[in-house]
């Protein structure tokens, strides 16, 4: 350190370093200068007071996505959404769920993508197909034949050029089911939409769960607490864990650039679930009653939320 520089106060040295840093490349990897990228973001973050008692935490910088990242996720989502559109035509009485899996795999791969579920931690198929009392992670099988009135969740995750998109939809086999099953499917979609509507920049992940929990209770349903949503984009599962049964103003801060899934699993009866001991994947309702789930991948923006995959 030169003698001249050492004469400055610690505050003046801090200002000097900050001024220099503002002209360097931003930490997010966008290639822009810090002052034109995330300088205001960091200033806003520093203003926020976190309450550890409510589990309030800062988001790690590695889950803040650049415009390039977001574009990559959107391109992946085009393929992902097309697979779910295709399921609308394929799901009919008499079809086996392995046929759905094979069609999805062929479509994803023929469009340059990779089915993220295939071999993920040992999962044997490319998509999850969950029927009636199966909450999630249903393994497609030639032995599982769909019949009139079944309610089916198809969950698809696609990787394209390293970017992940994730969404699921409910389908009614044959187009008509019981009034009770139809109501569960419809209300579950409402619950997801209310969870998404609760997302605001500089809000909290717990706001999502509070909105989901309120509408589920209002309609006499239970929310699965053992499973939830997650960050997604540059990997399959990232922070934060998204509980759909949480209290408002708890958990991780929702900062612009975060991408996550909102995917409430809603049960007709108890919230308790069981994992199949034989395959280690299939999650069923503990009481054998129906379950439904809808899922979208969403982006927290400067003004609200944008749907990336549905």
User: In sequence order, which residues have a C-beta less than 8 Å from that of residue 23 and are 6 or more positions away?
Assistant: 33, 34, 35
Domains in the chain, CATH or no CATH each? 66-309 (3.90.230.10)
Q: Give pLDDT, residue 39.
A: 84
Q: Map residue 114 onto helix, strand or coil.
A: strand
Cβ atoms of residues 7 and 16 within 8 Å = no
pLDDT of residue 43: 85
What Å distances lie between residue 230 and 29, 199, 295, CA to CA?
A: 22, 14, 11
Is 267:135 a contact under the CB 8 Å cutoff? Answer: yes
pLDDT given for residue 14 in this prediction? 45
The ranges of the chain with pLDDT < 70 are 1-20
All residues at 6 or more sequence positions from 220 whose CB lies less than 8 Å from its CB, including other chains: none
pLDDT (0 to 100) of residue 261: 98
Task: Please answer whether residues 156 and 261 qualify as being in contact, where contact means their C-beta atoms are separated by less than 8 angstroms.
Answer: no
* Beta partners for residue 32, in sequence order: none
CA 223-227-233 angle, 5° bins: 120
**What letter would DSSP give residue 195?**
H
CB 138 within 8 A of CB 128: yes
pLDDT at 7: 40
């Amino acid at each position: 350190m030169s003698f001249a520089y050492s004469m400055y106060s610690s505050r003046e040295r801090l200002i000097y370093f900050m001024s220099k840093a503002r002209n360097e490349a931003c930490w997010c990897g966008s290639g822009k200068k810090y002052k034109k990228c995330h300088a205001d973001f960091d200033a806003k973050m520093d203003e926020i007071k976190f309450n550890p008692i409510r589990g309030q935490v800062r988001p790690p910088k590695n889950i803040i996505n650049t415009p390039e990242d977001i574009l990559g996720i959107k391109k992946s989502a085009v393929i992902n959404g097309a697979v779910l559109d295709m399921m609308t035509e394929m799901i009919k009485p008499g079809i086996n769920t392995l046929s759905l899996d094979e069609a999805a795999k062929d479509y994803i791969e023929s469009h340059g993508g990779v089915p993220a579920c295939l071999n993920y931690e040992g999962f044997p198929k490319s998509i999850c197909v969950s029927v009636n009392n199966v909450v999630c992670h249903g393994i497609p099988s030639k032995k599982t034949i769909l019949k009139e009135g079944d309610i089916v969740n198809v969950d698809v995750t696609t990787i394209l050029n390293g970017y992940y998109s994730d969404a699921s939809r409910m389908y009614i086999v044959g187009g008509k089911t019981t009034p009770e099953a139809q109501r569960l499917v419809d209300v579950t979609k409402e619950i997801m939409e209310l969870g998404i509507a609760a997302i605001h920049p500089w809000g909290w992940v717990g706001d999502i769960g509070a909105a989901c929990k309120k509408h589920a209770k209002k309609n006499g349903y239970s929310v699965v607490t053992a499973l939830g949503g997650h960050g997604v984009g540059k990997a399959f599962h990232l922070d934060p864990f998204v509980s759909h049964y949480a209290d408002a103003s708890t958990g991780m801060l929702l900062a612009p650039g975060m991408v996550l899934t909102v995917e409430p699993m809603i049960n007709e009866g108890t919230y308790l679930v069981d994992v199949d001991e034989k395959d280690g994947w299939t999650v069923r309702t503990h009481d054998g009653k129906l379950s439904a789930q809808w899922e979208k991948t969403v982006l927290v923006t400067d003004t609200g939320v944008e749907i990336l995959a549905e």
